[in-house]
Amino acid sequence: MSYDYVVVGSGSAGCAVSARLAESGQFEVALLEAGGPDDLDQINVPASFPYLFKSAVDWDFATEPQKQLNGRAEYTPRGKTWGGSSSINAMVVNRGAHACYDEWAQWGNKGWAFAEVLPIFKRMENNARGPDEWHGIGGPMNVADLRDPNPISHAMVEAAVEAGHFRNPDFNGAGQLGFGLHQVNQQDGARWSAARGYLHPTLGRSNFTAITHALATRLTFDGTRCTGVAYRDPTGEHTVTARREVIVSAGVICSPQLLLLSGIGARNQLAHFGIDLVADLPGVGENLQDHPCIPVNHHCTQPVTMAEAGTPEQAARYAQARMGLLTSNLAEVGGFMQLRDEPIPDLQFHGGPLFFLDHGASNPSGDGFVAFAIAVRPHSRGRVELRSADPTEKPVIDPNLLDDTRDLDLLIAGVRMVQDILGSPALSDYRGDVYPPAAGARSDEAVKEYIRAHLQTLYHPVGTCAMGSDELAVVDHELRVHGVDGLRVADASVMPAIVNANTNFPSIMIGEKCAELILKN
């Protein structure tokens, strides 16, 4: 099988780049996906996404034991279906601060300043609020206001205002600071993933082929030119040839793993596994970053939370009118705060009408609500490495959380800010006891102990195939892999530094940008 372009991975970026190349009508495009179609009902019902964790549509990764988290390994969900993580996430639409992209450009990545990517963001979206300086309509990604926000969510916003913070109705407008309700990737109360926006409308094109249950095992080369992809499906081993380029959009964990298995990476690591060297790029798998976060939960004194979502009444409301608790994205409330003396907000707030502790594994019964303090400008860096040369074996994932003490210091201050917000009068009609009691601690040592016991990430890993020109850069500013021809990477792994917000929309933008770079030539 031979195509002009072969895209590996149908996640947020992969859907965008493959669809845009196909719709140009100039090329034959193949898309390889290790999972299957996005046909589970739970994908479409917004509040059901936690049930997708550790399911057939989740890679179900786990980190190495984290030394700063009392030796705990952290669950790391990644989508394994059409749409990738956009099919199993909380649907939050955030771009990140303008200055995050300006930093990328200042580091030598021409074309990635915010003013240059803003037209892509606008082209991507179909915003229910209509077009303006910051937003667009008519794009493939539906962006909507929450259809039926929970009363607790409204009270949280009021509580933040009482605690001295701004109101902000649009985190993707002129500035991020302040609190409000998130916009979400939904349409009429149902999830709107990258697969729904980009892939489904493209499936009928004669120049587009989607191959499912196809695990990419290695890239093929003629010297240092990438010529295709070897993959494994239920029928055996196959190879697909790319006449022009291969685009790896397999995600922050699988993209570096595939490059390493194919001979692109640090010479010593490849030699250890007996893999022939194609390009000595020591940055492959390095620079792993994520958003560490810590929840503060409270029991709720009224039966209005997601604990009531499984009732026949709520099922009927959703089925008949697409209203009620099942329309919730769970993380309904957002906020941004600035604690350090720098131009980019460094603390994010997520809140919602449910208990959420230890990825949901330690939730008590009954009604509750939660708010997270999230360090969105982390200094700690980790890595992804091969565990073996077997492509079916999950790689080593070590985000090295809280390795830099500045991250812990920020989260201590963040916990106190969250405690103050949740203790404000606006929540007095709903607020029960804090859970667990340790979440109410105020002293530095007690808060540190709570953080080490219950910190997780916000499932936003990035950076493992970083864009740039330094010694650890993997791709250049046009997403071409250094040292080889015919190969690009387009997903969140190319971010040289993590954006200070949810990473799904920026990942889609990267896919759009990749297609734009190709089509302009």
Return the structure tokens found at 347. Answer: 């603390």
Return the structure tokens found at 429. Answer: 């009609």
Count CB atoms within 10 A of the CB of residue 217: 18
Is residue 485 helix, strand or coil? strand
Judge contact between 263 and 281, C-beta under 8 A. Answer: no
Q: Which of 200, 350, 454, 460 is catalytic?
A: 460
Asked if 460 is an active-site residue, the reply is yes
d(CA 138, CA 300): 40
What one-character-per-residue DSSP string does 25-85 give? TS--EEEE-SSB-S--HHHHSGGGGGGGTTSTTB--EEPPPBGGGTTB--EE--B-BTTGG
- Placement of tokens 């989740």 in the chain: 58
Residue 462 identity (one-letter amino acid): V
Calculate the alpha carbon distances from 480 to 14, 81, 148, 161 in Å. 15, 25, 43, 46
Count CB atoms within 10 A of the CB of residue 428: 11
Element (H, E) at 453: helix 444-454
Judge contact between 187 and 145, C-beta under 8 A. Answer: no
Judge contact between 260 and 285, C-beta under 8 A. Answer: yes
In terms of C-beta density within 10 A (0-12 exposed, 13-18 middle, 19 or more buried), how is residue 333 classed?
buried
Residue 104 CA, chain-centre distance (Å), reads: 18
Tell me whether the omega of the peptide bond preceding residue 234 falls within 30 degrees of 0, making it cis. Answer: no
According to DSSP, the residues that pair with 109 across neighbouring strands are: none
- Placement of tokens 């200042």 in the chain: 106
Judge contact between 289 and 8, C-beta under 8 A. Answer: no
- Placement of tokens 């295709």 in the chain: 228
Rg (CA), the chain: 22
Greatest distance between any 2 Cα atoms in the chain: 68
State the catalytic residues: 460
